[in-house]
């Protein structure tokens, strides 16, 4: 029963990521072919599946982005062991050329009130990013822990990366911004 459930989740995740990749191909400025976008989605799906299967990692804490085989891990995890295990999982996936681990260790003393505040900050930052024509909010991952906002993902220009930091910093309640966003390159 457990194996069948795991296979269904894996199939669902893979299908969803392929659909997202196909629908989002135009959003990366045409630098990736549809095949490359699908390949990246499959690699991201495999990483997520590996994170789900790993007893040390909590997959729901980790955002995975892949661009041309370059994997990026974003979010807040509970321990250094989870951060290290996430890197190991990503590196073990066929098709991963490199891994950038932007994971931060979550504050162990975080209260329910702080968690709710963090959720509100995340929502405000995402809304601000989506509302600004200089950024493509759907390209940017946003996570918050104790008022510290972490930005990740791949964007089309250095300006988009810089503006994302400025926007996040301007949101009420944000104490600091860690910008792990990477600029897509035309090469490869």
Among residues 116, 139, 132, which one has the least CA distance to residue 170?
Answer: 132
Among residues 44, 96, 55, 100, which one has the least CA distance to residue 79?
Answer: 55
pLDDT for 154 equals 93
| Residue whose token pair is 């072919």 | 33
From first to last of the 188 residues of the chain, give the pLDDT tens digit: 455 545 455 555 545 544 544 444 444 454 667 777 788 899 999 999 999 999 999 999 999 999 999 999 999 999 999 999 999 999 999 999 999 999 999 877 888 898 899 999 999 999 999 999 999 888 899 999 999 999 999 999 999 999 999 999 999 999 999 999 999 876 44
Q: Does domain 2-105 have CATH number 3.30.300?
A: yes
Within this chain, domains 2-105 and 112-183 share the same CATH topology: no
| Residue whose token pair is 């759907």 | 138
pTM recorded for the entire structure: 0.74
Cβ atoms within 10 A of the Cβ of 45, count? 23
Q: Rounded to an integer, what distance in angstroms lies between the CA atom of residue 186 and that of residue 149?
A: 28
pLDDT for 25 equals 43
pLDDT for 12 equals 53
pLDDT for 137 equals 86
3-class DSSP state of 65: strand
Among residues 93, 106, 7, which one has the least CA distance to residue 51?
Answer: 93
pLDDT for 35 equals 75
CB–CB of 62/79 below 8 Å? no
Domain ranges of the chain: 2-105, 112-183
CB–CB of 79/105 below 8 Å? yes
The CATH number of the structural domain formed by 112-183 is 3.30.1340.30
Q: How far is CA 54 from CA 6, 48, 83, 87, in A?
A: 12, 10, 12, 12
CB–CB of 43/66 below 8 Å? yes
């Amino acid at each position: 029963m457990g194996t069948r459930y795991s296979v269904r989740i894996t199939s669902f995740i893979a299908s969803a990521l392929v659909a997202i990749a196909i629908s989002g191909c135009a959003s990366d400025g045409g630098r990736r072919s549809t095949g490359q976008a699908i390949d990246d989605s499959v690699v991201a799906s495999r990483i997520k599946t590996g994170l789900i299967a790993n007893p040390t990692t909590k997959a729901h804490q980790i955002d995975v982005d892949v661009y041309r085989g370059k994997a990026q891990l974003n979010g807040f995890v509970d321990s250094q062991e989870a951060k290290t295990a996430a890197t190991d999982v990503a590196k073990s996936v066929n098709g991963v050329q490199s891994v950038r681990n932007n994971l931060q260790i979550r504050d162990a003393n975080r209260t329910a009130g702080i968690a709710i505040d963090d959720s509100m900050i995340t929502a405000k930052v995402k809304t601000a990013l989506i509302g600004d024509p200089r950024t493509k909010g759907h390209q940017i991952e946003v996570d918050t822990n104790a008022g510290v906002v972490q930005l990740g993902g791949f964007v089309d220009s250095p300006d988009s990366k810089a503006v994302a930091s400025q926007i996040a910093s301007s949101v009420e309640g944000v104490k600091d911004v860690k910008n792990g966003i990477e600029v897509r390159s035309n090469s490869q």
